[in-house]
Amino acid sequence: MTQKVVVRFAPSPTGYLHIGGARTAIFNWLFAGKTGGKFILRIEDTDTERSTAESIQGIVEGLQWLGLDWDEGPYFQSQFIKEHQAAAQKLLQTGRAYKCFCTKEALDQKREQARRDKITWLYDGTCRNLTPDEIARKDSAGVPFTIRLKVPREEGSIIFEDIVYGLIEKKYQDLEDFVIVRSNGQPLYVLSNAVDDIRDGVTHIIRGQDGLANTPKQILIYRALGAPIPVFAHMSLALDPQKAKISKRRHGELVSVNFYKEHGFLPWAMVNFLVLYGWSRPGDEDIFSKEQLIEAFSLEGIRRNNPIFDLRKEESKFFTDPKAISINAHYLRNLPVEEIGPYVKVELQKSGLWDPSFEK
């Protein structure tokens, strides 16, 4: 029996839904639709200092406006902290992780010495082989500790096939025993994210290329917990015309989904544009209905090269990427009156120009 596809969109609620996040959500949603799979929305809200209820609402409303319906969720990562901590304890008990009592000051000194020696510093495993008695004495004395995962110390590599980037290899010797739980008992993202994906039965992880560096570590966590390893597809990062990464901080509202909602874009026109922003198939088609796009979509069509979001701040005619404007114009010209009518009504109501008699 073929395993059912399960994918997830897992944004951090530290701001509005931006076009990069929306594109990730769209690709996951399309793949679930193409395969008859399940699409989960999971809010990764464990960064309590930066996560806000306003951001969560903005993300949910942005997805709803785009028409991306999810099958489960929204779940909140913060609700599962005890599961993450229990996983860390399991790793300790099975000898796949260990308590590290090294102080920040001691680690900083070693890091600084490595900098002076012009060598790459990786944690040297000082606490990896402490005896049970040594650990018990430090625990009795109340010495703070982090929890580190044991990386294999034999020859070898973590090797996996990424659907977009091909064969990826990371040698064990290039990975330190990395921290999975802070000294305050707070699990790190690398652990929480993996535990959540295991619990939710995620089979395919479709996310931005900036998650690629964490993948070897998460594969080690999957292995240590005896869980199946999902299929990975990392999407290339969106750049502006100056080849800078698209970001909320640098580009502001121009990369917000809500900006396009407020500037007369139709939801499906935005979906259609964002799909073409990093994905293609043979042929020169640019316009797809929902059914056509689900049928045409494949992970193999995700391009490795970075798509350029052609922002034109200085040109009033092109307040954003001209292709986005062109696709939206196509839908505005061709949408039946009965479908475009509700959008016109909303705009007139916002402007105080709506009259109920218009519907007669």
Name the catalytic one among 248, 261, 323, 345.
Answer: 248
What phi, psi does 162 have (nearest 5°)?
-90, 135
Cα angle for residues 314, 317, 323 (degrees, 5° grid)? 100
The beta strand positions in 86-142, using DSSP E, are: 97-100
What phi, psi does 253 have (nearest 5°)?
-65, -20
Q: Are residues 224 and 149 in contact, defined by beta-carbon separation less than 8 angstroms? A: yes
Beta bridge partners of 6: 38
Please give, one letter per residue, the 3-state secondary structure of 255-294: HEHHHHHHCCCCHHHHHHHHHHCCECCCCCCCCCCHHHHH
Listing DSSP states for 59-100 in one string gives HHHHHHHHT---SEEEEEGGGGHHHHHHHHHHHHHTTSEEEE
Beta bridge partners of 163: none
Beta bridge partners of 40: 8, 72
Q: Are residues 210 and 181 in contact, defined by beta-carbon separation less than 8 angstroms? A: no
d(CA 98, CA 93): 9
Beta bridge partners of 205: 232
Annotated catalytic, 248? yes
Among all residues, which ones are annotated catalytic?
A: 248
